Structure 1
């Protein structure tokens, strides 16, 4: 038997739906974005930071129904571009795709930094973790971490490790290895990963603690041998390659990471909403697959979790920089 129609039910449903719509404002209702959003990448085009900035920016534009312009402003280890965002208006139209360098290392490297990584920014979310990988020339007799330690202890200061430049995360991964393995090797800085790898391939240096995305093509081609990854867990991209910790240096853990920040004056509600959008983006299968192809892993978290993570990383790398006595003008 059918139930008699009650017009009051429809009225209640309509009122309930209307109340729900008003309680949860959409981006259009808030008037954001009111102009193109700038996703500032403080490094040259083509690198991992740039790739991630463009990936997130493209999807963010779709979700917001607006325009996201990726702008590269390299210089001083990411400090030049980061300072621009630090001084921007906190209206959500200037975002920074920053790194471990811009927010956990630079303040200990440079005598004068044009921004405060803690006071001048509102952390939105960690985006991705990228393992570094200890690589050697394929013809090298070094096949394990223990081989490298033994060779370095046999001839202190003779073995060398290349890096993308003084104070880069690649350099400091090597410095941390020296400190924890209690060995001494010569650091050879280059202007970027590409020339450093070129000399490693040519046999001019012993090893390198490179970002996985830039080293992976040479590992796949067989030109470089992956000895170990620098993270606490093995990389899904190199499941058969051990971590440095399990291969002989207990407690070793280092990786490159990337995240998004807004200026410090950005409202908590806007930071929270942007965090939710980024979390949704990083949950998409196609985005996760793109990250995997880069040797990266999606790592979204809350603004408070991201802030705590940055503080912990900064404390860790401050000790490494001080012990290695690295300082830049």
Structure 2
């Protein structure tokens, strides 16, 4: 009996030591960071900042791998089936928890397929129009849409993203039959409105702000509870008569399920350290 207990304890110590060594050596090669959306959107922007900082902190390259499609399901499915050794990670948005309620089947289990590492960012969504549209407020825009709903479309980053849900909720509330056009990420959606291929956009604020400030887009309303400091002259949806429609686009970092607690802890520590840096804040 005593010898059996000693063998069990020895095995446990060996496993613990191996885990510690693995964490100390992590990462041992370049790391792939999957982004389940196209380049240029908020998730991609956050991922590239994080990838650069982790590269500096770890001394190994962290490479962003954009795998867009199906509202993020393609990239999330790929990450879910990757080896849980910490050398594949994924930056997800709010669609990670929304998609199970929107799709009949998805290639991952939000409860079992991943190990959470860290929350990273949150930003409101913003309704915008191309400058050629003769509307400077939500009231004026809805009046134009009501006159000819089939003439107007709203670009979103994809089905199930929070901007898409914001657009759908506005459509439901106003009972206006405008068309929503889901793209493979915020980058293509913003580009479609800037290029006047689609008249209206609903996207996360970060990738949209430069175009608003440059006059390539006109902001109509934000989905935050309070006005955003980035575009302080733009009212909230609540201010223009649509209360209870606040929404954020969130970003978080996950590893495939089965990743060791030591690696998760080391990675989380790097993210916390990075988020405290002035150039990231």
TM norm. shorter chain > 0.5: yes
Give the equivalent residue in structure 1 for 2:208.
215
Give the equivalent residue in structure 2 for 1:90.
84
Structure 1 runs not aligned, ≥5 long: 1-24, 289-329
For 1:192 and 1:61, how far apart are their aligned partners in 2? Answer: 25
Structure-2-length-normalised TM-score: 0.78
* Match for residue 71 of structure 1 among 65, 68, 91: 65
Partner SS for 1:92: coil
Give the equivalent residue in structure 1 for 2:239.
246
Correspondence 1:53 to 2:71: no
Q: Deviations over 1:250-290 (max 9, x none)?
A: 111122221100112123343233222211101101122xx
* Higher radius of gyration, 1 or 2: 1
Q: Which moved more, 1:145-154 or 1:65-74?
A: 145-154
Contact 2:70 2:159 in 1 (8 A): no
Q: Which moved more, 1:139-148 or 1:52-61?
A: 139-148
Gap change, CA 1:223 and 1:57, over 3 Å in 2: closer
Gap change, CA 1:203 and 1:31, over 3 Å in 2: closer
Contact 1:180 1:252 in 2 (8 A): no
Contact 2:38 2:185 in 1 (8 A): no
Partner SS for 2:225: coil
Q: Which moved more, 1:76-85 or 1:183-192?
A: 183-192
Q: Deviations over 1:217-263 (max 9, x none)?
A: 43223232211112223222111211112221111112222110011
Q: How does 1:177-188 map to 2 (within 5 A)?
A: 177-188=170-181
Q: What is the deviation of 1:182? A: 4.8
Contact 1:181 1:249 in 2 (8 A): no
For 2:75 and 2:276, how far apart are their aligned partners in 1? Answer: 28
Gap change, CA 1:230 and 1:34, over 3 Å in 2: same
For 1:201 and 1:254, how far apart are their aligned partners in 2? Answer: 23
Aligned residues: 263
Give the equivalent residue in structure 2 for 1:230.
223
Q: Which moved more, 1:234-243 or 1:34-43?
A: 34-43
Partner SS for 1:274: helix
Q: What is the deviation of 1:210? A: 2.4
Gap change, CA 1:188 and 1:88, over 3 Å in 2: closer
For 2:137 and 2:176, how far apart are their aligned partners in 1? Answer: 15
Correspondence 1:99 to 2:93: yes
Q: How does 1:1-329 map to 2 (within 5 A)?
A: 30-101=24-95, 103-152=96-145, 159-189=152-182, 200=193, 205-288=198-281
Taking only aligned residues, the RMSD between alpha carbons, in angstroms, comes to 3.1
Q: Which moved more, 1:199-208 or 1:40-49?
A: 199-208
Contact 1:97 1:259 in 2 (8 A): yes
Q: What is the deviation of 1:189? A: 4.2
Structure 2 runs not aligned, ≥5 long: 1-18
For 1:203 and 1:273, how far apart are their aligned partners in 2? Answer: 45
Partner SS for 2:255: strand
Gap change, CA 1:203 and 1:73, over 3 Å in 2: closer
Q: Deviations over 1:34-77 (max 9, x none)?
A: 33322222233444333322211221232234342333333333
Contact 1:43 1:50 in 2 (8 A): yes
For 2:192 and 2:90, how far apart are their aligned partners in 1? Answer: 33
Partner SS for 1:286: coil
Gap change, CA 1:153 and 1:122, over 3 Å in 2: same
Structure-1-length-normalised TM-score: 0.68
